[in-house]
């Protein structure tokens, strides 16, 4: 399971980085979303995945799952949700103001 | 156990939330926020005296004991930083009362101002890496709002880059924490420090250390990740630019100093050259950028980049004196940089521009502004008796003691560039023919300069009373250089 998750993370990072390097604003936003998903999966995977064990120390069971990564991912997820919505609004406003989503045209003039 | 530790970020958080309710009543907002900023200054001074008297103060939040629960820790360095943020927060707020447009005030300027301070103070006081991330995000989201507030075309375009850069850095931060947790099984800083020491910081731990350096370096505007700073700090109004220029990059530097003195100090042969040379390149790039620009705010922004480099070099030298120099530099830079941005805002209020070539002769119509700028300008360039001199001097002495002659030479040479660009501003803006109209010449700016006067006094005091202040910072740096003090007070007995 860890192997599968690691491959998923790798694919998400690859695609996210590719999108981040393009010139279109929307693609950059999508790239950041994919990258943050990758990072969240990574956080979950790195702690070791365990199935069928309770997340609390229990007298009856030998093993227990680590609850901390889930708590961390939940926090990170909420934060990235907020950031993404802010970023979407900001990009839309920028698009409205400049009538373009091409970053080449959003560079700013040379004398600045 | 001391609940005092939550106050520096609980107060601004609560007040920020309350201020949202009064968003249309400017008078109430101003009164509440001014009062809060003064209370925060009082609290942070009290915190510093408590830390000085009792040593490191620890609070285990919700009484969950150390490696499991979240801890808040204040050592001398953190307490000094909280004090600085309160000073800057108070003064920029009073500057904002006079300069921020009522439209901005009605659209939640003050709430986000306090949420920003929540994030900054929280980042200084936390003892847990994940918690540090959360406070970073609190700080960043407020900074996004403040930097784009007003929504001019320039602000939208440059803030977008600022936001994308910082979100990417945050993602990298999460990934780094994932690796940290995988290798060490903990995210509590003291516990991490203990585990990394047991593992002797080899192999993948060095990679993790470098990842932290990249993440915090991005927030602190280190070479090669500095390019977003001069552009994005140009857009927002002066009060916001002053707050950002004074505080935000220093939070990144604080995090670098914290991680590299507490968690990753075990492989100096590897980390030292990287820190020193990244710092050296940063100061050269920042200095050159300042020299090549002809805009008041842009020159100051490039100076931020340059000054950040000095702090990282001081950390890289890693002696007691060098770390004290780093703290001195941070304190000095927060004071001076805030003051300079306030002058830029004042000059903009008078002339309506920040372009050096369209300004001139301000000394004749506004002598107080001119001379205050002169004092601060030579303070940042490192001329005695002001604070910049002592911080550079102690840095260079530390450099010579450790045999880093080249880097010390670079640090001194770039000091000349700083002086040059300050003289350039002074000559273009304050000397020469008067380019603003007579009506503009009559604009009174006394009330705008009032918040900057305490800063000028502070930089002078820091320079003149260097002996007691430097020995106090040496105390703080010795505390940083002996991580066992921090670890013991967090993990054993929960401190005072």
Distance separating alpha carbons of residues B123 and B56, to the nearest angstrom: 16
Give Cα A30 distance to the centre of its chain: 10
Q: Is pLDDT at B127 greater than 50 in this prediction? A: yes
Token couple for B377? 């300008």
Q: Where are the domains of chain A?
A: 2-50+65-103
**Token pair of A95 as six digits:** 């698009």
Identify the pLDDT of residue B274: 93
CA distance B83 to B334: 11
Judge whether residue A51 has pLDDT over 80.
no
Can you give the pLDDT at residue A57? Answer: 66
B348: its two tokens: 């903009």
CA nearest to B326, candidates B79, B318, B122: B318
Identify the CA nearest to B84 among candidates B50, B116, B40. Answer: B40
B167 interfaces chain A, CB cutoff of 8 Å: yes
Contact in structure between B366 and B350 (CB atoms under 8 Å): yes
Report the distance separating Cα B312 and Cα B326, nearest Å: 8
Q: B-chain residues within 8 Å CB-CB of A83?
A: 137, 141, 167, 170
Cα separation, B197 vs B270, in Å, equals 15
B156/A93 touch (CB, cutoff 8 Å), yes or no: yes
Q: Considering only B49-53, B307-311, B443-447, B458-462, which range has the smallest mean pLDDT?
A: B443-447
The percentage of chain A sitting over the pLDDT mark of 70, rounded to a whole number, equals 90
Q: Which tokens belong to A27?
A: 């693609």
Report the alpha-carbon distance of residue B117 to residue B326 in Å, rounded. 22
**Residue-level pLDDT at A68:** 85
Mean pLDDT of all residues in B225-253: 89
The widest CA-to-CA distance across chain B, in whole angstroms, is 70
Residue B85 confidence (pLDDT): 95
% pLDDT > 90, chain B? 61
Residue with tokens 């950031």: A83
Cβ B117 vs Cβ B12: under 8 Å: yes
Structure confidence by residue, pLDDT tens digits, B276-300: 999 999 999 999 999 998 899 999 9
Query: How many Å apart are CA B34 and CA B31, to the nearest integer?
Result: 5
| Average pLDDT over chain B, rounded to an integer | 90
CB nearest A40 (choices: B148, B163, B174): B174
CB-CB contact of B486 with B479 (8 Å): yes
Q: What residues of chain B, 13 to 52, have a C-beta less than 8 Å from chain A?
A: none
Residues of A in contact with B141 (CB under 8 A): 82-83, 86
Peptide bond into B224 cis (omega under 30): yes
Q: Do B170 and A82 touch (CB under 8 A)?
A: no
- pLDDT at residue A59, rounded to an integer: 62
Cα–Cα distance, B391 to B418 (Å, whole number): 14
Give the one of B130, B159, B168 whose C-beta lies nearest to A32's C-beta: B168
**Measured distance CA(B395)–CA(B465) in Å, rounded:** 17
Closest CA to A44 of A83, A5, A84: A5
ipTM above threshold 0.95: no
Average pLDDT over residues A7-34: 94
Q: Locate all alpha helices (DSSP H) within B402-482, ordered by sequence.
A: 405-425, 438-441, 446-449, 453-464, 466-481
Among A39, A42, A75, select the one facing B134 at the smallest CB separation: A75
- Please give the Cα distance from B313 to B254 (Å, whole number): 13
Fold of A2-50+65-103: Helix Hairpins (1.10.287)
Going by the DSSP 8-state scheme, the letter that residue B189 receives in this structure is H
Helices (H), B149-226: 153-184, 189-199, 204-219
Residue B440 contacts residue B358 (beta carbons within 8 Å)? no
């Amino acid at each position: 399971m860890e192997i599968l998750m690691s491959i998923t993370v790798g694919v998400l990072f690859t695609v996210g980085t590719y999108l981040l390097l393009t010139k279109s604003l929307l693609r950059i936003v999508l790239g950041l979303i994919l990258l943050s998903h990758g990072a969240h999966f990574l956080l979950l995977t790195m702690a070791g995945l365990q199935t069928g064990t309770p997340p609390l120390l229990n007298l009856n069971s030998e093993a227990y799952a680590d609850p901390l990564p889930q708590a961390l991912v939940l926090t990170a997820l909420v934060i990235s949700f907020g950031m993404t919505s802010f970023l979407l609004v900001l990009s839309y406003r920028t698009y409205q103001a400049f009538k373009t989503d091409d970053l080449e045209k959003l560079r700013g003039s040379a004398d600045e | 156990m001391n609940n005092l530790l939550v106050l520096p970020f609980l107060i601004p958080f609560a007040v920020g939330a309350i201020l949202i309710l009064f968003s249309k009543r400017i008078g109430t907002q101003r009164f509440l926020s001014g009062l809060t900023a003064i209370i925060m200054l009082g609290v942070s001074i009290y915190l510093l005296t408590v830390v000085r008297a009792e040593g490191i103060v620890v609070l285990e939040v919700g009484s969950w004991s150390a490696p499991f629960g979240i801890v808040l820790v204040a050592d001398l360095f953190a307490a000094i930083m909280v004090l600085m943020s309160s000073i800057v927060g108070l003064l920029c707020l009073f500057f904002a009362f006079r300069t921020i447009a009522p439209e901005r005030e009605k659209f939640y300027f003050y709430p986000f101002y306090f949420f920003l301070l929540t994030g900054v103070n929280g980042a200084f006081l936390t003892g847990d890496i994940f918690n540090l991330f959360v406070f970073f995000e609190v700080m960043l989201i407020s900074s996004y709002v403040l930097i784009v507030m007003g929504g001019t075309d320039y602000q939208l375009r440059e803030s977008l880059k600022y936001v994308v850069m910082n979100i990417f850095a945050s993602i990298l931060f999460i990934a780094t924490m994932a690796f940290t947790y995988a290798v060490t099984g903990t995210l509590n800083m003291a516990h991490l420090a203990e585990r990394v020491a047991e593992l002797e910081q080899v192999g993948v731990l060095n990679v993790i250390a470098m990842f932290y350096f990249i993440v915090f370096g991005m927030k602190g505007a280190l070479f090669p990740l500095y390019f977003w700073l001069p552009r994005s700090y140009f857009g927002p109004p002066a009060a916001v630019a002053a707050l950002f220029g004074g505080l935000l990059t220093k939070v990144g530097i604080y995090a670098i100093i914290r991680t590299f003195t507490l968690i990753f100090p075990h492989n100096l042969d590897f980390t030292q050259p990287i820190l020193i040379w990244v710092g050296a390149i940063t100061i050269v790039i920042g200095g050159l950028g300042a020299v090549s620009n002809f805009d008041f705010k842009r020159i100051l922004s490039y100076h931020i980049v340059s000054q950040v480099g000095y702090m990282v070099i001081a950390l890289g030298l890693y002696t007691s004196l060098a770390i004290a120099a780093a703290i001195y530099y941070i304190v000095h830079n927060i004071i001076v940089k805030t003051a300079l941005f306030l002058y830029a805002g004042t000059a903009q209020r008078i002339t309506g521009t920040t372009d050096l070539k369209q300004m001139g002769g301000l000394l004749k119509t506004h002598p107080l502004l001119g001379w205050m700028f002169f004092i601060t300008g030579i303070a940042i360039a490192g001329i005695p008796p002001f604070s910049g001199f002592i911080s550079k001097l102690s840095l260079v002495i530390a450099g010579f003691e450790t045999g880093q002659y080249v880097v010390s030479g670079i640090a001194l040479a770039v000091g000349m560039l700083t002086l040059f660009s300050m003289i350039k501003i002074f000559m273009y803006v304050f000397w020469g023919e008067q380019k603003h109209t007579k009506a503009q010449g009559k604009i009174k700016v006394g009330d705008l300069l009032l918040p900057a006067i305490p800063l000028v006094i502070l930089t002078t005091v820091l320079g003149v009373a260097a002996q007691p202040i430097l020995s106090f910072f040496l105390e703080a740096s010795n505390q940083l250089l002996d991580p066992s003090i921090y670890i013991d007070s967090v993990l054993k007995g929960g401190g005072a």
